[in-house]
Amino acid sequence: MSRGAWVQHRTRDNPTMNLLSVLIVSFLCFTIIRWYTETKKKKYPPGPPVRPIIGNILKAPSSGAWYILTDWFKVYGNLVFLHGLGNRILVVNNFEIISELFEKRWNNYSDRPKFTVAGELMGLEQNSFSLSPYGPRWREHRKLVHLAVNTRAIQNYHGIQEDVAAILSSDLLRSPEHFLEHLYLASGRIVLLVTYGIFAKDIKNPYIVDAEECMEILGKALNPGAYLADIIPILKYLPSWVPFQKEAQEAKIKFHKNAELPYLHVKKLISEGTAPQSFLKDLLSLDNMDPDFDHRAMWVTSVMYGAGTETTFATSATFILAMALNPEVQKKAQAEIDRVIGTDKVPTIADASKLPYTMAVLKETMRWHPPVPLSIPRRTTQDDTFNKYFIPKDTVVIPNLWAISRSVANPEQFNPDRYLDKNMSSSIPDPSEWAFGMGRRICPGRYLAENSLKAIVTGILATFDILPPENEIILPEFTSTHVSYPKPFRCQIRPRSQEKEQLIKARVLEVKVT
């Protein structure tokens, strides 16, 4: 057979290839026409140099993006625009502009982007309301979450949070070298108890292991340039044996299992009449006639668990790192706790309001290394103009929280006094106003998270000294994942005195959660 006849024969026999070629050619034509008409007419915000058709979109970094985006901020300013191949990304590097867009212009900036891989192929757009479009389904899910974590409801969890913090202290006493595991377990325990009423005995608890795997997958998938299919959506039609398709299918199954297993467990306990108090139990006892309600309750609970564990862990691990590196700050906070609360007690969550310096340490922890440096992106639903720049419909908007965190004097310095010194504090936006996002999609779990962190931080400072390892310098390094936390490091965590050791042992005996 001649070469030409062979090619003809192969193409005739392969309808997938035929369809794919037509799709690719149509996509390219569409992109060229759109690129030409758009770039000639409009004044976009500045950004890295563009090339025909691909623009500058392929420069979108795939991990640790906040460092690169913040370098661009120094070159291009508060708004940085990437576009090409039918995509547009706007990076916003300034607190006031993010508030203007997300809060005042919320009706155009509350949607989420279409993540082809995480949203469509992994099924999260349908099920996980944190990625779902702004609309009735999102509203239904968000209403349910609000029931569990509004400012009044979270007061019911103080006992759980203080007890878990007490167990954490006892774990740190027993094996301080495993402090990162203990912190992860404590963060998971709080959310697992609140959402499902389940007490995780150790880090190998299957729900904790499953959720950790899911967060790892999601962490990768949410980075702006992680999958080419997010930039060229037509690639989603590639056959199922292509590596990213296989990854997405496996992830979809994992996410479903992660939502279903604890849900089925709680349902079983409810039917046996032995289910402890939990958010899911409350939801399932609501008299709801909607046939979809159980499915919604299952996913809402799972999303809360996923969103709450890693972020709380990231903040508490950053806190330990900051304390090991800043002994004077640590001593000052310990002195405040001893003076205000006394040396024979562990502070409660209610005590936190009496501890301004210690709370400034917590704020500075969230600023020094924000746990979610690029938040979760949004998408414009209409064309907009800001400062004479054109922001088209369907632009992915990334609020660069990392850039906000660096917008203070000496950003690498860990200095809680920024929030207390009157000359400095007015110029620094409090991290509780931006580290949890802004506007309609602001983190619904922020009050719960803040209380967990208050219990963990004050509990540790009251009873332990955190020191760098002997004869070793700690070089602070962080993961490049969507939720970013310190890479494993060593430090010494020792009870401040024998009395403190006794205090930890006595407090853990009073724990009610099991």
CB 445 within 8 A of CB 439: no
H-helix segments, 326-417: 327-341, 356-368, 401-405
Amino acid identity at 2:
S
Site for ligand HEM in 335-374 (CB under 6 A): 371-372
436 contacts ligand HEM (rule: CB under 6 A)? yes
Please pick, from the candidates 428, 435, 462, 466, the single residue that binds ligand HEM as defined by CB under 6 A: 435
DSSP string, 139-160: HHHHHHHHHHHSTTGGGGGHHH
| Cβ nearer to ligand HEM, comparing 59 with 440 | 440
In terms of C-beta distances under 8 Å and separation of at least 24 residues, what long-range contacts does 393-397 make, across chains too?
Answer: 394/88, 395/88, 395/89, 395/90, 396/87, 396/88, 396/89, 396/90, 396/113, 396/224, 397/89, 397/90, 397/92, 397/101, 397/109
329 contacts ligand HEM (rule: CB under 6 A)? no
| Cβ nearer to ligand HEM, comparing 332 with 406 | 406
What is the smallest separation between the CB atom of 336 and ligand HEM, expressed in angstroms? 22
Choose the binding region for ligand HEM from 14-22, 114-122, 161-169, 444-452 (rule: CB under 6 A): 444-452
Site for ligand HEM in 391-410 (CB under 6 A): none
| Cβ nearer to ligand HEM, comparing 196 with 464 | 196
Longest CA–CA span in the chain (Å) reads 92
Q: Judge whether 443 is annotated as a binding position.
A: yes
H-helix segments, 42-178: 65-76, 95-99, 106-109, 124-127, 136-149, 158-174
Site for ligand HEM in 141-180 (CB under 6 A): 142, 145, 149
Q: In whole angstroms, what is the distance from residue 88 CA to residue 73 CA?
A: 17
What is the smallest separation between the CB atom of 392 and ligand HEM, expressed in angstroms? 20
Exposure string for 229-263, b = 16+ CB within 10 A, e = fewer? bbbbbbbbeeeeeeebbebbeebbebbbebbeebb
208 contacts ligand HEM (rule: CB under 6 A)? no
Query: Which has the closest alpha carbon to 293: 131, 147, 130, 137?
Result: 137
Give kind and range of the element (H or E) at residue 454. helix 446-463
185 contacts ligand HEM (rule: CB under 6 A)? no
| Cβ nearer to ligand HEM, comparing 219 with 308 | 308
Compute how many residues bind ligand HEM; rule: CB under 6 A. Answer: 27
CB 111 within 8 A of CB 384: no
Residue with tokens 């009873």: 463
What is the smallest separation between the CB atom of 5 and ligand HEM, expressed in angstroms? 56
Please pick, from the candidates 214, 438, 460, 493, the single residue that binds ligand HEM as defined by CB under 6 A: 438
The DSSP symbol for 117 reads I
Please pick, from the candidates 47, 219, 444, 459, the single residue that binds ligand HEM as defined by CB under 6 A: 444
Please pick, from the candidates 97, 442, 467, 508, the single residue that binds ligand HEM as defined by CB under 6 A: 442
| Cβ nearer to ligand HEM, comparing 109 with 179 | 109
In terms of C-beta distances under 8 Å and separation of at least 24 residues, what long-range contacts does 429-434 make, across chains too?
Answer: 429/95, 429/404, 430/363, 431/363, 431/366, 431/367, 431/370, 431/405, 432/363, 432/366, 433/95, 434/95, 434/98, 434/401, 434/404
Binding mask 109-148 for ligand HEM (x = CB under 6 A): ---------------------x-----------x--x---
445 contacts ligand HEM (rule: CB under 6 A)? yes
Q: In whole angstroms, what is the distance from residue 90 CA to residue 92 CA?
A: 6
Choose the binding region for ligand HEM from 43-51, 211-219, 319-327, 439-447 (rule: CB under 6 A): 439-447
Q: In whole angstroms, what is the distance from residue 319 CA to residue 239 CA?
A: 45
Choose the binding region for ligand HEM from 7-15, 34-42, 217-225, 436-444 (rule: CB under 6 A): 436-444
What is the smallest separation between the CB atom of 418 and ligand HEM, expressed in angstroms? 19
Q: β-strands 384-386, 79-84: how paired?
A: unpaired
Kindly tell me the number of DSSP H helices and DSSP E strands found in the chain.
Answer: 20, 8
376 contacts ligand HEM (rule: CB under 6 A)? yes
Q: 40 by DSSP, 3-state: which?
A: helix
What is the smallest separation between the CB atom of 129 and ligand HEM, expressed in angstroms? 6
What is the smallest separation between the CB atom of 208 and ligand HEM, expressed in angstroms? 15
Site for ligand HEM in 296-325 (CB under 6 A): 303-304, 307-308, 311-312, 315
482 contacts ligand HEM (rule: CB under 6 A)? no
| Cβ nearer to ligand HEM, comparing 172 with 456 | 456
Where is the binding site for heme, in residues? 443
List residues binding ligand HEM (CB under 6 A): 130, 142, 145, 149, 191, 303-304, 307-308, 311-312, 315, 371-372, 375-376, 435-438, 441-445, 448-449
